[in-house]
Structure 1
Amino acid sequence: MEVTMEEHGTTTEGSQLAPQPKMEKEMSAYDKMQQSRTSVEAIVANMLSIKKENKPKSELRELVTQMFLNFVTLRQANRSILLEEDHVKAETEGAKAPVDFTTLQLHNLMYEKNHYVKAIKACKDFKSKHPDIELVLEEEFFRDAPEEIKSSVISNDNAHNLTLKRLNFELFQRKELCKLHEKLEQQKKSLLEIIANRKKFLSSLPSHLKSLKKASLPVQNQLGVLHTKKLKQHHSAELLPPPLYVIYSQFLAQKEAFGENIDLEIIGSVKDAQVYARQQANKDTGISTNLESSKMEDDAPEEEDDGQRRRKRPKKVPSKENLDQAGLYQAHPLKIILHIHDDDASDPKSAKLITLKFEYVLKLNVVCVGIEGSHEGPENNILCNLFPDDTGFELPHQSAKVCVGDALAFDEKRTLRPYKWAQHLAGIDF
């Protein structure tokens, strides 16, 4: 009876735990899984209670069968869930395709937008060379531009079209200037060749002129036109010291203005005069030079004026020989010769009355004059006392006397004397 009751009870419980077919059709897979889980938990609880109570194993078989059925139901529900998941995935993929296509179109549009934005920014930031080009004014453009440029239509915008036409006109002008530049360069090249040939001719011209002058000397002497001699004399006159140049210019002006029967001649070393002129130029500009010769040096002893100190030795008076050796009477390399002819003679050149020689003493800054070729004493000289108290024995100014010292008289051995009228004639007034 117990077994029957237990079996009946078990059957009853199994019938209660077993799912009904109608409900399975109506229930969803998730509900089936929940119901099967509940049934499995109940069966496991019954099996544990049977083992604890040591009931017969026949009851366990029915429970195992019920558990297997629940497992089958679980697998069926799991399969249904997986199929439903695959169906949902397929639907999702089908719905995702248009979204991906739309997203791709959106990215393409965004890329195009960024490209256009960058292009617009580059156009806005572009700096043209047009502002730096100085275009001609509009009035000059309409007046001077060719008709082809003025009538051309490059853009629909009038202002932009006018600017482009002005730029084309600027390009046209620059091309014309380039052509003109090439033409002028060719002319310059040809002119440089002509100049080089003429320079070559001019460099050889002095030798030809020199030979021509030399060949024309007999003709000049025959005609009495001493052009070459005068030209050479004028070049030598440029090297004269200022006092002698004043005398030379006054005599030359007297001859040309009044037709005086006199002749001027400059004698001496031109090279030494050039050296002296360079030395004076260097001294005036403050440039140190080593061109001073021993003849131009001032070796005169300097005298110290010290009132507080006595000299142990008596003061030496330099003799005239020492003065001459010291270079005080050194004259300029060039001298002037004045020939005075007789106006009444038929041949003026043969009737020479007197010949005067002028020289300039450098250290004493005086002009000396004497009769060329005269052997008479200074007191019998015609130039002595030509003016009152002008014998030529004394130095004419104080600075020369200081240079000479106590020897106030001029050297009597010298035939050329420093007359006062000669200083006045040379422009040396004291």
Structure 2
Amino acid sequence: MVATTLTGSERHSSHEKVASRLEHLIAEFTSLIEEFDAAESSYLQKKFQLAADGGEDDDMNILDGDSDAADKEFQTYKEDTESKILGIRLEIKSLDVALWSNVEEAMNETEDAKENVEKRETILDLLRYEKNHYWRLCEACRDFKSKVDDIELSSIAEFYERAPDSLRIFRQETDVTPAQVIQATHAQVAEDLAHTSMEVAAANVPAPHTLDAHKLMLNRLAWELSERLSLGKQQRRLEKQMIKLNAELVDKRKRDREAERDLVTLLAAADPLQDLFGSPETPSWDDNTANLLPPPLHALYLNAIAHQTTSGDSHFSVVVEGDVNKAKVVEEANARNAAMGEKEEDATQMTEDLPLDRHPLTVVIKMEDVQRDVIFSFLPQLGIMCACERTPDGVVGVDMLSQFDAMDTGKRSPNPANDYQLDRMGLTSVSVCTMKHGYGKPYRWTQYLGGIEYLPTNRRYLLTPDTRRLSFEKFVARLRSMN
């Protein structure tokens, strides 16, 4: 016999039929019991009645016959009733078995459904865990800060122009749609290329749908590394060269100081010859005031005195102007620092708290024939000299001096360290600051007149100490020719 599997609705309907049939059988069973009790009670009552009515023998025979008939009738009724009750009991038992069979099947299905629900809940929990795990990974990716973000790379336009061809190949191997392109990187490419020429953009920039942003970044990093290694080697080589040049500069300054002392001795020794040959007298000047000048202005002053003495130029003169008392204070401070053994810093060093100020004394070269004065001042914090012209009415400017050398406009300082110093102070260029204070401009030829030498970018300015006097003479001649 093949067992049939009922659905939930069929089982519910069958269960209701069985329950209804049970109720009917129970009611029928109860009715039979009640009928049997009533018949039994009537039978016993009739038996007692016959027993009470018994008398003579003939009457007793009649009563016995009635009693036997009643017993036989009751016995027949009793057997029929018991047969019906037995049938009802068997049917009830059968229905009970069927009912419990349905209940057991329902319980088994419930257990199966419960296990299925538990499995699905377990799968759901696993999916939720994986969802949270991927969500945390996505958050970590969004919050990830690469070390590349802290590296200051060269612009993409510069990379296109200077990088080798092997690094500028960063196209994707397979074709993709524009929607799959990293738009942010291509937008940055377009922004960086906005300042470059159209030819460079057309020749070197890949199409948006072939751009591989990751490979582009790797190539930029590789090129940046190679450039920094090359610049590091160049920096070390230049530092060694700078140390060598500084040592040579110290020796040259030492020879200059010795030459200045020899020049003073020579001028003093030339006085008897001037008296003998009736030459013009050496211009009088105050040794104490001249000694207060900083070394560059002092060298310029001695060269001007030597030119005035040897050339016999009556229209040429040189004077020292400024606050002598302040100059003495500066000189005393320098001497006190030297006596205390403080380490002497390079003249190009400047701290941020020092003002952009010049030395209290200036050297003024007066040329009466052109009616112009040239004022030379020295900025100790920057280690440079500035020059400006002054007209007879007292107006200070640089119109004539700016035309002295077409390649030397005075807009940039000859001292390379000044750019970094002014940048720390939040200032722009040296010439703007010096012009604002009325110092003039830091021309390179001005530095050579004062014996200051910085390594220039143009080799035409590499003068030697032996050519300074000739340069001073050319300077005077050039001023006269420009009037």
Assess same fold via TM > 0.5: no
TM-score, with normalisation over the residues of structure 2?
0.29
TM-score, with normalisation over the residues of structure 1?
0.32
Larger radius of gyration: 1
The structure where helix makes up a greater share of residues is: 2
